[in-house]
A and B are shown apart, each in its own frame.
Chain A
Amino acid sequence: MKTIRVGAGLGFYGDSWRPVRASIERGGVQYIASDHLSELTLAILQKDRQKVPSAGYARDAVPMLTELWPLAAKHGVKFVLNAGGLNPQGAREAIARAFKDKGWKAKIATVSGDSVLERIDELRAAGEPLAHMDNNADIAAVRERMLFANAYLGAQPIADALSRGADIVLTGRVADAALTLGPLAHEFGWKWDDWDRMAAGLTLGHLLECSGQGSGGNFGSAGEWAKVPDYAHLGYPIAEVSEDGSALFTKPPGTGGRISFDTIRQQLLYEVHNPHAYVSPDVVLDMGTIRFDDEGNDRVRISGATGAARPAKLKIVAGYQDGWMGTGMIGFAWPEAYAKCEKSAEIIRTLVQERGWAVDDTNVEYIGYNSLLGANADPTYRDQLNECFLRMTIRTKDRKIADAFGRLFPWLGLSGPPYVGSMKGIQPAKELLGIWPTLVSRDLVEKNVKIEIENI
């Protein structure tokens, strides 16, 4: 019986591809599905492209493929990756240059047409309000400040590219799980309205899209995380899939990490809203029918996913400029470490006020006490801390104020409370981005989707 093995590639722009080698060498995979785009990565890529028009893609794809391609070619492994970002053709050119230098050949497909930034007015004229999905606000309020706007495409163009013989498929924004569903639909010839198979493929893609988080990384727990073996050599997950969509979820032999009922159900629900209606471009998945059968030894059987018809609308995520953040930090040792941080925050507030700076929000956190746990930090030992850092951040529309804010802090070293340990360096203003999720009729986007194939 035919099975297809898909292995996880990266889980974000900047993730490590070192573990992918084991999946290719001894994991028996035919595909690597590599996710380079978080919700916000396109904002970073847009800034790159503003500086250099040929940029705008996830640059880590180039060294990743340069390092892994000889091995992948030897094992007949194909790559599906959304590293194209805002410029899939640019990514292809960069990869082509690197491959030509080495004398390698490959058939590279690009999938584009997801970017709708230049089409906002056209879509509005076509009757798409593009109102905010959650609060129904009018897009006009942020239209001028928009930096990117991309629709999430589904798995169909990926499957099409593969059926035309592509070895590497480079996409822009697609649903993360489509990177896995595309190869599965192509290999098994799944019908695009076979909702349960679509749901099965989506489930597996979702479990693979965060690399090590699907195999024991970030296993949120007290104590249990310490039982995950050999983090340093954690293997990325692999799905061995059958025609009916059921799968064995595992990882390459001889790697660290853990695949178990516990670790993969954490990933199943990760960044999911309604688990009974997990909406993707290809299907609406009900996670309530999924079965995980843990066989031990890093093997879990997955079956039972059910799906409902795909939505008529595609999701767009747009990002817009939304002010600047200024950051300042200063640390203190015992005695009264926390009290000295608190006093410093009070001093800084006074300085800001006396300068008359227009500040919209101020955020005060104490690193070593509550900067991660917030209001759920336990205050019992607050006043006996060995050391504590004050972190203050402000939101302002004025970049100069955001830059100047951090420069208020070094002065405290000689003129503030005692036993100070400053952070090294002053943090510059950081641009803040608002996110604009909205919906658009799929035909209006899909008619512009373009698949290009080039032999290099």
Chain B
Amino acid sequence: MRVPLWKIAHARSGDKADRADIGLFAFDAQTYAVLKREVTKERLQNHFAAMGEGPVELWPLDNILALKIVLNAALQGGAARSLRMDNLGKNVAAQLLRMEIEAPADLPRLLLK
């Protein structure tokens, strides 16, 4: 089934010069395996295409059930020269949580009421 990431994961983003960076976190190991499989560089590139053309970098961290995502050249040159309301990229994580992936219906978070 199609599931938006906000139902199964949490995330925080920040900035360094012209890079926006995001930590994406599964609440449990089962979901982490799904994130690792589904949240690919290609999908991220597509999801954030409007922010800039820089390549996406991605590292899985099994020890903390997390994906580290970096969007290069995504902040109009950096927070202090950006024209955007969100010049610091604080909401890039919220943008990510709107991404939909294919996931099994029995993930622990999806079973919560």
**CB proximity to B under 8 Å, residues A358-395:** 361-363, 365, 367, 371-376, 378, 391, 393-395
Interface of B: prevailing SS: mixed
Q: Which of A40, A222, A224, A291 has the most CB of B within 10 A?
A: A222
The 7 closest A-B pairs by CB, nearest first: A269-B23, A375-B50, A363-B83, A433-B80, A221-B10, A271-B14, A220-B12
A367/B61 contact (C-beta < 8 A), A134-B18, A375-B49 known: no
**Can you give 16 A-B contacts (C-beta < 8 A)?**
A39-B17, A39-B79, A40-B80, A219-B10, A266-B25, A270-B14, A271-B15, A271-B21, A272-B68, A273-B70, A275-B59, A361-B83, A373-B91, A373-B95, A376-B98, A395-B81
Given A276-B59, A290-B63, answer yes or no on A432-B81 (Cβ-Cβ < 8 Å).
yes
Minimum CB distance partner of A395 in chain B:
B83
Q: In the complex, are the beta carbons of B85 and A435 less than 8 A apart?
A: no
Could you list which residues of chain B lie within 8 angstroms of chain A, going by C-beta atoms? 6-7, 10-19, 21, 23, 25, 27, 47, 49-51, 57, 59, 61-66, 68, 70, 72, 76-81, 83-86, 90-91, 93-95, 97-98
Within 187-240 of A, Cβ neighbours of B (below 8 Å) are at 213, 218-222, 224
- Among A93-101, A319-327, A407-415, A443-451, the one that faces the other chain is A319-327
Cβ contact of B12, chosen from A270, A363, A367, cutoff 8 A? A270
19 further contact pairs, Cβ within 8 A, besides A371-B84, A375-B51 = A40-B80, A134-B18, A220-B94, A268-B23, A270-B14, A272-B21, A273-B21, A274-B57, A287-B63, A288-B62, A290-B63, A292-B64, A322-B77, A323-B81, A363-B83, A376-B95, A395-B81, A433-B81, A437-B17
Chain B residue numbers with a CB within 8 Å of A164 are none
B68 near A372 (CB under 8 angstroms)? no
- Report yes or no: A43 in contact with B80, Cβ–Cβ below 8 A: yes
Judge whether B95 and A220 touch: CB under 8 Å: no
B83, A376: Cβ atoms closer than 8 Å: no
Question: How distant is the Cα of A319 from the Cα of B80 in the complex, in angstroms?
Answer: 9
Question: Contact between A372 and B85 (Cβ–Cβ < 8 Å)?
Answer: yes
Question: Complex formed: what's the CA distance from A273 to B54 in Å?
Answer: 14
8 Å CB contact of A435 from B10, B25, B78: B78
Contacts of B79 in A (CB 8 A): 39-40
B80 to A, closest residue via Cβ: A433
| Chain B residues, CB < 8 A from A39 | 15-17, 79
